[in-house]
Amino acid sequence: MTSTQTTPARAGDETGTVDLLIYSDDVDTRRTVIEAVGRRAAKGLPLIRWTEAATHAGVLQKVADGDFALLVLDGEAAKVGGMAVSRQLKSEIYDCPPILLLIARPQDAWLATWSEADAYVSAPLDPIDLQEAVARLLREQAAK
């Protein structure tokens, strides 16, 4: 699913939309995140328009072409995991959007720190944790 037109919005603007990217090679993981977060992460925040990426190359292309408010990356994605993608994007893109990393277990938190992710949520993915993490990052982005 890709967006064709962007309505700019600040995270505190309930009337617009923000674009978020979800990267995972697993369609079920992408669907779980999209359904858990929903169309709006929290009251007072704009509607979310999701863009999906299933490959490392797809993420790089979509980030280069898009204007995302937040990137959600699966640390367990095959071939190139979200941790490596996060580190690459943080080192290569000036003013990189915030990154929420999905990790397999709480013990992997140090890897999330190494990857320079702004936040992480560990499996099993809890819808409330996902919503709260997305909402917090969107609010922080709006405060900049």
CATH number for 90: 3.40.50.2300
CA proximity to 66, closest of 118, 17, 9, 3: 3
Residues 46-74: what's their mean pLDDT? 97
Provide the domain limits for residue 71: 17-143
Binned at pLDDT 50, 70 and 90, residue 120 comes out as very high
**Tokens 């369609």 label which residue?**
27
pLDDT higher than 80, residue 60: yes
Is residue 116 in some structural domain? yes
* Residue-averaged pLDDT of the chain: 90
Q: How confident is the model at residue 15 (pLDDT cuts 50, 70, 90)?
A: low
pTM: 0.89
- What's the average model confidence in pLDDT over 103-125? 92
Helix (H/G/I), strand (E/B), else coil: 101? strand
- Asked if residue 34 belongs to a domain, the reply is yes
- Amino acid letter, residue 104: A
- For the chain, the domain total comes to 1
Note whether residue 110 is domain-resident.
Answer: yes
Is the residue at 30 inside a domain?
Answer: yes
Residues 38-47, mean pLDDT to the nearest whole number: 95
Q: Is the residue at 78 inside a domain?
A: yes
Region 117-138: mean pLDDT is 96
